[in-house]
Amino acid sequence: MKTGSSPKEKAIQFLFKYGAIALLAIIIFYFSTVSDAFLTYGNFSDIMRSISIVTLLALGVTFTLVVDGFDLSVGSTMSLSTVVTASLMVWYDMPLWLVLLLPLLIGVLAGAVNSFLIVVLGIPDLLATLSMMYIVAGLHRTYTEGYSIYNNMPLTSGGTAPGQLSEAFLWIGQGQMLGLPVPVWIMVILVLVSYLILNHTRWGRVLYMTGGNAEAATLSGVNVKKVKFTAYVVSGIFASMAGILFTARVGSGQIDAGAPLMMEAVAAVFVGYSVLGAGKPNALGTFFGAAVIGILLNGLTILNLPYYAFDIIKGGVLVAALAVTYVYAKKKFSKS
């Protein structure tokens, strides 16, 4: 394969390995020539903060895609976690550790239900998590009766809510540390941890191999059901962390916070396939995909492009990334 490849094949190989990075360089170069505000520290720290929540969601999706599953319910889980986080403080005035712990348990539960549907009942992952997407979205609206949750809000039972979002909590979403926003630190740490686990540990190897060939993994002694279960639970936890971060960032419990972010997260993961020729879901690629989309949207905003046209650009980037990945895969695996 490596011997005697034609210029065309070489070009495809090059695109596959460095295409995404080259694209990013071109985008950055272009925007920096048209706007002085673009290539500044402040703007880049803004971009990183804006993609932190999507990246957390996308990391969860990455884990499910690694085991050859798919999680469409992450957006809804994030929405539920957002309103629960806010309500625990505003409605019930709970201590911070409980406020952070309970939403994570909700994420675990959502992941566990997903895996029950997929692993035990055998519903295809796309359909199972689609159903869960609706159920969880409905749950979070029912829970808040359709209202967003904010400090001192009037309650339907009369009076005002007893609690507030605490300063310490808001620091998670709005604070700064060592010159970078706290959400960026959280994102960077989680990306690195995910990368280390997926690419350099025993667990990561088991996850990838299970996704590659579940039957062969079973016959090599892997308990495939447990592995898939874990992946969906991890996905649920990431979604609920994204929800907590969102509440802290915005300072209130918005309803339907996660729904629009879900497809963006999925897009980030797939753009990530094409980074450095991975050809499969990977943590660094996912971060990279989220960054490409974030930087592009930021630049377009600076250019004053109409907001409603942004989805066209997002879709275009996704198509380009997928095209490079799959054209290469077809070439690589067409023989034998």
Partner 1 sequence: MEHPLLEMTAIRKSFGNVTALEQAQFSLEKGEVHALLGVNGAGKSTLMKILSGVYSQDEGDIKLNGSPLQLRSPKEAKEQGIYTVYQEVDTAIVAELSVAENILLDTFAGGSSFFISQKKLYDDARRVLKELQSDNIAVGQKAADLTLAEKQLVLIARALVHSAKIIIFDEPTAPLSLHESAKLFSVIEGLKAQGVGCIFISHRLPEVFEIGDRITVMAEGKWVQTFDAKAASQEEVVESMLGAKLSNELVHRDHEIGAPQLIVEGLSDEGKLKHLSFGAAAGEIVGVVGLVGAGKTELAKALFGESKLTSGTITLGGRALKLKHPSDAIKAGIALVPEERRKEGLFVQESLSANASFPNLRRFSPKFFMDKRAERAFAKDIIGRLQIKTDNTETPLIHLSGGNQQKVAIGKWMSLDSKLYLFDEPTKGVDIGAKVDIFKLIRQLASSGKSCVYFSSEIHEAIGISDRILVMYNGQIVKEFSRQEATQERILLYASGGKEERSENRQQPERKSHTVSV
CB of 277 to partner 1, least distance (A): 12
Nearer to partner 1, 138 or 212 (CB): 212
Helices (H), 35-117: 41-66, 74-90, 96-115
Neighbours of 312 (CB within 10 A): 9
CB of 208 to partner 1, least distance (A): 8
What lies within 8 Å, CB to CB, of 140 at 6+ separation is 76, 79, 80, 82, 83, 84, 255
Where in 84-103 is the site for partner 1 (CB under 8 A)? none
Using CB under 8 A as the binding rule, whether residue 5 contacts partner 1 is answered as no
CB of 272 to partner 1, least distance (A): 18
CB of 278 to partner 1, least distance (A): 12
CB of 10 to partner 1, least distance (A): 17
Determine whether 234 is exposed, middle or buried from the number of CB atoms within 10 Å of its CB (0-12, 13-18, 19+): buried
CB of 222 to partner 1, least distance (A): 7
182 to 201: interface string for partner 1, x by CB under 8 A:
--------------x---xx
Cα(195)–Cα(211) distance, integer angstroms: 17
Cα(207)–Cα(267) distance, integer angstroms: 21
Candidate residues 121, 219, 309, 312; the one interacting with partner 1 per rule CB under 8 A: 219
Using CB under 8 A as the binding rule, whether residue 309 contacts partner 1 is answered as no
Are the C-beta atoms of residues 160 and 101 closer than 8 Å to each other?
no
The span of 100-108, 149-157, 207-215, 234-242 binding partner 1 (CB under 8 A) equals 207-215
Residues touching partner 1: how many (CB under 8 A)?
25
- Residue 186, CB half-sphere, CA atoms under 13 Å: how many? 27
Are the C-beta atoms of residues 192 and 53 closer than 8 Å to each other?
no
Nearer to partner 1, 84 or 234 (CB): 234
Nearer to partner 1, 214 or 313 (CB): 214
Nearer to partner 1, 213 or 301 (CB): 213
Are the C-beta atoms of residues 243 and 110 closer than 8 Å to each other?
no
Nearer to partner 1, 84 or 206 (CB): 206
One DSSP character per residue, 308-336 reads GGHHHHHHHHHHHHHHHHHHHHHHHHS--
Cα(68)–Cα(124) distance, integer angstroms: 11
CB of 210 to partner 1, least distance (A): 10
Cα(95)–Cα(146) distance, integer angstroms: 25
Candidate residues 159, 202, 304, 306; the one interacting with partner 1 per rule CB under 8 A: 202
Nearer to partner 1, 70 or 208 (CB): 208
The span of 59-67, 164-172, 220-228, 306-314 binding partner 1 (CB under 8 A) equals 220-228
- Where on the chain is the footprint of partner 1 (CB under 8 A)? 1, 196, 200-202, 204-206, 208-209, 212-213, 215-223, 332-333, 335-336
